[in-house]
Amino acid sequence: MYMINNKNLSGNKMILLNYVRINELVSRTDICNNTLLSKPTVSRITDELVKNNLLIEVADSYVTNANIGRKPILLKINPKAFYCVGIDIERTSIKGAVLDINRNIITRKEESIKYIKDDNEFMKDVKNVIEKLVIQSKINKQLILGIGISVPCTVDYNTGKLIDYSLNSIPKEIHLKKYLEDKLSIPVYIDNNANIRVLGEYWYGFGRGYKNIIYIMCNHGVGSGIIVEGNILRGKNSVAGEIGHQKIDKNGRTCTCGKKGCLEAYCGTEAICMNVKDELSKGMSSEIRDYICEDYRKITFELINKCASNKDNLCSNILDKAEQTLGIGIANLINILNPEIIICSGEFFKYREDVMERVKEHTKEQLFNLMGDDTRFAYRKDEDILSGVSPAALVFKNTFD
């Protein structure tokens, strides 16, 4: 039996399918009027797609009772026609999901990668999770449009090569896209987690309806994903968005990158722990001493927040300074890029009350006059909601855009 699968879906067939996908319920006449396809082409392709069960014919419920002779027939995408796989690779786990073409989640899976030894084992683990997802979802592999993957490192977007994936704390180059495409024969798209997150927000989250979005992740590092006029800003070497290394003070604290005075050296949660440790080494008093018994390795970002909430001066001052500095960093971005919305996420915002509100106020104090007050702010509290879904958006974008 002839079957339309992910390999023979292109050209006019793709244009027609995409039009129906976006507009959800359309007639053959709608397709002729709104695409550049001729009537005979629409008729031929539609018949083929209906025969192959990719499009479903439905009677128009609004006019079926009217006495107008032939009942108008509308078309919609069969949600079971095609699927996408979305994979979130994090530092210690792989989370994946299979989605249908209407972006409904069919199945999910999560596996630990805490104890992997080398890059071969790592790539094999990713492949195994994908294969298990396909089996678990009981779908035909031929109907998978692509696999979208989010990784916590720099990626050469064109080759899908991971540039500095941290494997047992050693940065490594890994040819993940090539490996998976060779083994699975399905198109693979890979991007770093900040770009994937902003894409997920753009399609399904706080960014819906906006074309200029900055997504800020403030954890032990500070990074961002940026969408300008509906497209991810990648830059020449796919490394745009490294907002954590913008300069706040050229003689300031030393950053993980080796330079001085980067934003991350003040707002990264790791840097904040170092800052507290430095002050304690100088003999400063703080409630935090009661918890750590002089063992500085016991200092955590959560503990610093706990002491600050108990009105401890040292911890409060360091966190207040971090919030002010993040405000300066975000104001710099707004002054340069003039986004419609800033979406913040990460551990930085997690423990104290109203962190987001204060950062927003600090940002507004630093804005250039013409920026006005109309940039919106949102806080993405539960990042797991879009896990698996956001990387699948990369497949939709590459297949249909």
Contact positions vs Zn ion (CB under 5 A) = 245, 255, 257, 262
Q: How far apart are CA 236 and CA 239, in angstroms?
A: 8
Q: Which is nearer to Zn ion, 136 or 256 (CB)?
A: 256
Backbone angles phi, psi at 58, to 5 degrees: -130, 145
Shortest gap between Cβ of 263 and Zn ion (angstroms)?
A: 8
CB of 8 to Zn ion, least distance (A): 48
Q: Closest Cα to residue 237, out of 132, 155, 153?
A: 155
Q: What is the nearest approach in angstroms of Zn ion to the Cβ of residue 220?
A: 13
DSSP for 57-73, please give it. EEE-TTTTTSS-SSPPE
Distance CA 309, CA 315 (A): 9
Q: Which is nearer to Zn ion, 269 or 305 (CB)?
A: 269
What is the nearest approach in angstroms of Zn ion to the Cβ of residue 375? 25
Q: Which is nearer to Zn ion, 135 or 257 (CB)?
A: 257
Contacts of residue 186, defined as CB under 8 A and 6 or more positions apart, other chains included, come to 6, 85, 141, 144, 146, 147, 180
CB 268, min distance to Zn ion, A: 9
State the nearest-atom distance from the C-beta of 25 to Zn ion, in Å. 51
CB closer to Zn ion out of 236 and 250: 250
End-to-end CA distance of the chain: 30
User: Rounded distance, CA 338 to CA 95, Å?
Assistant: 34
By C-beta, is 262 or 315 nearer to Zn ion? 262
φ/ψ of residue 247, rounded to 5: -85, 130
Select 155 or 255, whichever has its Cβ closest to Zn ion. 255
Minimal distance, residue 221 CB to Zn ion, in Å: 9
Name beta bridge partners: 96.
87, 109
CA distance 105 to 93: 19
114: amino acid identity, one letter: K
CB 305 within 8 A of CB 319: yes
Minimum gap (Å) between residue 1 Cβ and Zn ion: 58
| Between 262 and 326, CB nearer to Zn ion | 262
Q: Which amino acid is at 45?
A: I
**Where do the DSSP E strands lie in 175-315?**
188-192, 213-218, 222-228, 231-232
Give the other-Cβ count within 10 Å of 63's Cβ. 11
Looking at beta carbons only, is 262 or 334 nearer to Zn ion? 262
